[in-house]
Amino acid sequence: MNIQRTLALVGKELKRLTREPANLFMAIIFPLVLTAAFGFSFGAIGGSESKYNIAFVDHDNTQWASMLHSSLTQVPVLNLQDYSDPVKATDDLSQGLLSAVITIPEGFGLSIDSYKLNPNNPKQWLNSTIGLSVDKGSMVASAAIPPLIQQILSTVVTGKQSEATSPVKLADPTFVTAEKISQFSYMAPGMFAYAAIFLLMLVAQVMVGEREDGLLRRISVTPTTVGDIFASQIVSNLIIGAVQTLIIYLASTLLGFHPLGGASGIAVAFIAVMLMSLCSVGLGLIVASIAKNAGTATGISFVLILPLMLLGSFVPAPEYIARLVPSWYLTHALTSIFIRGASISSPAVISDIGTLAAVSILLVVLGVLIYRRFGNR
Amino acid sequence: MNAIEIEALTKRFDQKVAVDNLTLTIQAGELFGLLGPNGAGKSVTIKTLCGIIKPTSGTARVGGYDIVNEMEAIHKIIGVCPQEPAYYPYLSGRENIQLFGRLQNMPDTKLRERTAQLVEALSFAEEADRRASKYSGGMIRRVSLAMALINDPEIAFLDEPTVAMDPQSRHATWDLIRGLKSNGKTVILTSHYIEEVEALADRVGIIDHGKLIALDTPQGLREQYKASNLEDVFIALTGRRIREEAVQ
């Protein structure tokens, strides 16, 4: 790879972005409009309070219940309140004073003890179920609180953030009414994924368009190598991805999104979006290898973009399917950092970003190999 | 010294033979005209010599480098003006030219000087900073030619460089091509304007159905075929073939 040639091609790509209205719209205007539209539509829903009031009803009173209490207290979006009377807690929940009620049953501590003694022998476990009542009238509360509680419960019981087999179950959430956090805040991490996904189409259209116009052929009779061309695509799209990230971050912040995680969280989120952009470059190269013209490239791009969007951004989808698309890992990592306030070194965040990095590198390598094999036919 | 040496070069596309056992030598500093009807194999020959397509069999050397194994070295010494002018419409003419200079690793100062020189020689200095999407067909041709010559190549392949140009631009282009020759560059020129080749070329090769059917100086060809101009020679050689095919 030659730096001067690669930079010359990067400069050319960035001029294309700023001078061709269609590309400018797709890469910059579209994410901005999307963020603004969702921000205005959903930003007001749920009010401005950024915390959930959660009642903690403890019928167990063991050290394990205290540990769970302590863990829940550390979650920035949860405001834990102790209730000794479950009726009063339910009453407050029904009046919208609480977002959820967690009820720790008697025997909770014994269940964990039985698990700790025989972690690999479920026959020896004593089962217990934690009660959970949530405001079902709020899409955000009902969607966000149960997985959050489940994650913390799993950490306390098994030491793992992911849901693992254990004797302690979280009951299916039930009823009530409380909306205290902006719905848009839950969508914002998906916005970052959304924008990066569309780079796929840009890459495919550029590569196919230049092939159709004879430009790649013309470049091929200069000392420019295929590596220079691929490197320029990667670098220019990472720059576009960075600009998109900045625009979405600023726009969503202006519209009421207040991400947790601080500067380090934002830095890691930025890296995660770059990885997703890389993923899109790889997929774009694969599309460009298959498509014979720009129209076909657009069509095939949409076939890939739709599942990436619907399964891996802000649209709720079953996790076992959503995990099949790389954008899910980006959204999940950003949600952990920005919404749950997870540390950037937490296993969940590291696992998501690690998976995304591995998939990105794999897709770029695959994209380059497939394009070299089939892209110039 | 030979700039180009072609030995039994053949290129097949499935059953069609585009270049058929072509053997040809072009000397350094020569301005060589390659003529032939549409589909005769001129462009395929040039594309093969430039590394765009690989030969089926035979060998060729460009600037002393083998076209199969040493294409990287060849790309540093050649300039190619393709038949269809490929350019970036969202860049200005000057930016298009300079992009190709940068792809040749030219230093900035030299790149600016050479760009100014070409823009002046091809008479589009006033238009050079407008977007190429606003250019006429003739202007695009001039930009395309400048893109090919930005690195001051030792060997220039010019495939129909003056198509769609007005007479003034065409003459400016001819002067530029003559300038290349006077600077010792080798030029391989294809054109449908036979008088253009006749006026510029030191030697002319006529190719038809992938085979080289005539090779000499323009004057030599006129004498050999007792014709008053090269166009008559061309028609006598390639027109007969078309008539024979029509009868069959």
ipTM: 0.88
Residues A117 and A124 sit within 8 Å (Cβ to Cβ): yes
CA distances from A55 to A84, A101, A136, B39 (A): 9, 5, 16, 83
> Do A220 and A308 have their domain in common?
yes
Asked whether the beta carbons of residue B90 and residue A20 sit closer than 8 angstroms, the reply is: yes
Report the residue from B52, B91, B105 with minimal CB separation from A12: B91
B87 touches chain A (CB under 8 A): yes
**CB neighbour class for B21 (10 Å; exposed up to 12, middle 13-18, buried from 19):** middle
Q: Are residues A213 and A240 in the same domain?
A: yes
Q: Which two tokens stand for residue B83?
A: 């038949």
Look at residues A286, A105, A308 and name the one whose alpha carbon lies nearest to residue A207: A286
pLDDT band at B88 (very low <50, low <70, confident <90, very high): very high
Cβ contact, residue pair A4, B105, below 8 Å: yes
Nearest neighbour of B75 by CB, restricted to A2, A8, A223: A223
The residue-averaged pLDDT of A271-280 equals 92
Q: Locate tokens 């849901």: which residue?
A: A163
CB B75 to CB A20 under 8 A?
Answer: no
- If you average pLDDT over residues A224-232, what whole number do you get? 89
Closest by alpha carbon to B47, among B19, B17, B77, B86? B19
The pLDDT score that the predictor gives to residue A42 is 63
Q: Which residues of B122-158 are buried (b: 16+ CB within 10 A; e: fewer)?
A: bbbeebbeeebeebeebbbbbbbbbbbbbbbbbbbbb
User: Bridge partners of B157?
Assistant: B80, B188
Per residue in B195-227, pLDDT (tens digit) is: 899 999 999 999 998 999 999 999 999 999 888
CA distance B114 to chain A (A): 17
CA distance B221 to chain A (A): 33
Instruction: Give chain A positions within 8 Å (CB) of B99.
Output: 8-9, 11-12
Label residue B244 exposed, middle or buried (CB < 10 Å: 0-12, 13-18, 19+): exposed
Nearest CA in chain A to B50: A221
Interface contact B82, partner A, CB < 8 A? yes
Residue A140: its pLDDT value, please?
Answer: 64
Judgement on whether residues A140 and A229 belong to the same structural domain of the protein: no
**Does some domain include residue A101?**
yes
Judge if A234 and A322 occupy the same domain. yes
Tokens of A254: 């202006």
Under 8 Å between Cβ of B70 and B126: no
pLDDT one-digit tens code per residue, A335-377: 878 876 777 888 878 889 999 999 999 999 998 888 887 766 5
Interchain CB distance below 8 Å, B86 and A217 = yes
Interchain CB distance below 8 Å, A217 and B82: yes
| Per-residue pLDDT band at A49 (split at 50, 70, 90) | very low
User: Dmax of chain B from CA atoms?
Assistant: 61
Kindly state whether residue A154 falls inside one of the protein's structural domains: yes
* Residue A345 forms part of a structural domain: yes
Domain boundaries, position A133:
52-170
Say yes or no to pLDDT of A178 above 50: no
Sheet hosting strand B65-66, strand order edge to edge = B16-27, B2-13, B57-62, B65-66
Confidence of residue B243 (pLDDT cuts 50, 70, 90): very low
Query: Is the domain of A250 the same as that of A369?
Result: yes
Which residues are bridge partners to A230 per DSSP?
none
Q: Does the beta-carbon distance from A223 to B104 stay under 8 Å? A: yes
pLDDT over threshold 90, residue B94? yes
The last residue of a domain, from among A146, A170, A194? A170
How confident is the model at residue B246, as a pLDDT? 46
Distance from CA of B212 to the nearest CA of A (A): 25
Q: Which of A20, A215, A223 lies at the smallest CB-CB distance from B86?
A: A215
- So what's the pLDDT on residue A340? 67
Residues of A in contact with B154 (CB under 8 A): none
Nearest CA of chain A to the CA of B32: how many Å? 20
pLDDT at A48: 43
Question: Which residue type does A8 have?
Answer: A
What is the model's pLDDT at position B19?
92
Residue A332 lies in a domain: yes
Kindly list the structural domains of chain B, giving each domain's residue range(s) and its CATH number in brackets, ordered by start: 2-247 (3.40.50.300)
**Bridge partner residues of A168 (DSSP):** A128
Number of domains in chain A: 2
Span A247-272, average pLDDT: 84
Burial tier of B213 (Cβ tally within 10 Å: 0-12, 13-18, 19+): middle
CA–CA dist A264, A254 (Å, integer): 20
A1 vs A216 pLDDT, higher one = A216
| pLDDT reported for residue B242 | 52
CB–CB contact A223 B76 (8 Å):
yes
In a domain, A108, yes or no: yes
Same-domain pairing of A38 and A187: yes
Contact criterion met (CB < 8 Å) for A215 and B87: yes
Give the pLDDT of residue A174.
61
Provide the pLDDT for residue A179: 39
- Do residues A332 and A219 both lie within one domain? yes
Q: Count Cα neighbours of A344 within 13 Å in the Cβ-side half-sphere.
A: 13
Q: A-chain residues within 8 Å CB-CB of B76?
A: 223
Which two tokens mark A351? 């696992």
A218–B86 C-beta distance less than 8 A: yes
A235 in the same domain as A158: no
Cα–Cα distance measured from residue A375 to residue A273, given in angstroms and rounded to the nearest whole number: 27
Mean pLDDT over residues B122-143, rounded? 90
Distance from CA of B41 to the nearest CA of A (A): 18
Shared-domain flag, residues A191 and A164:
no
What's the pLDDT at A37? 73
State if pTM tops 0.80: no
Q: What is the pLDDT of residue A376?
A: 65
Residue B207, strand partner residues? B212
Average pLDDT of the residues of chain B: 90
What percent of chain A is modeled with pLDDT above 70? 87
CB distance from B65 to chain A under 8 Å?
Answer: no
Residues in chain B closer than 8 A to A229 (CB atoms): none
Helix A30-42, helix A226-254: angle, nearest 10: 30
- Residue A140 lies inside a defined structural domain of this protein: yes
Q: Are both A34 and A112 inside the same structural domain? A: no
Burial of residue A300 (number of CB atoms within 10 Å: 0-12, 13-18, 19+): buried
Q: What average pLDDT score do residues A247-259 get?
A: 81
Q: What is the mean pLDDT of residues B90-115?
A: 94
pLDDT of amino acid B248: 42
pLDDT of residue A254: 83
A-chain CB neighbours of B134 within 8 Å are none
**Closest chain A residue to B51, measured at CA:** A221
**What is the Cα–Cα distance from B7 to B19, expressed in whole angstroms?**
12
Of A140, A170, A200, the residue that ends a domain is A170
**Angstrom distance (rounded) from CA A180 to CA A242:** 32
Task: Say whether B54 sits in a helix, a strand or coil.
Answer: coil
Domain boundary among A145, A170, A195: A170
Question: How far A189 CA lies from chain B's nearest CA (Å)?
Answer: 34
Closest CA to B100 of A215, A26, A268, A327: A215
- Number of CB pairs < 8 Å for A and B? 59
Instruction: Decide if pLDDT at B102 tops 90.
Output: yes
Amino acid at A262: G
Q: Which of A19, A27, A231 is nearest to B95 (CA)?
A: A19
Q: What does the pLDDT read at residue B12?
A: 92
Rounded to an integer, the average pLDDT of B53-73 is: 93
Q: What is the mean pLDDT of residues B39-63?
A: 92
- The fraction of chain A above a pLDDT of 90, given in percent, is 16
The listed range with the strongest mean pLDDT (A23-37, A317-331, B35-49, B87-101) is B87-101
Checking if the pLDDT of A137 tops 50, the result is: no
A58 and A26 housed in the same domain: no
Q: Do B88 and A20 touch (CB under 8 A)?
A: no
CB A71 within 8 A of CB A155: yes
Calpha distance A240→A238 (Å, rounded): 5
| Contact assignment for B103 to A20 by CB distance below 8 Å | no
| CATH code of the domain covering residue A80 | 3.40.1710.10
Per-residue model confidence as pLDDT tens digits over A148-174: 888 888 888 877 766 567 777 777 666
Q: What is the mean pLDDT of residues B109-125?
A: 91
Q: Which chain A residue lies closest to B49 (C-alpha atoms)?
A: A221
How much is the mean pLDDT over chain A?
Answer: 82
- CB contacts of A220 in chain B (<8 Å) are 51-52
* Residue A176 domain flag: no
A156 and A70 within one domain: yes
- A→B contacts (Cβ < 8 Å), by residue, are 2, 4-5, 7-9, 11-12, 15-16, 19-20, 213-215, 217-224
Q: Which of A101, A254, B1, B52 is nearest to B19 (CA)?
A: B52
Contact A215 B88 (CB under 8 A): yes
Answer yes or no: is A360 within a domain.
yes
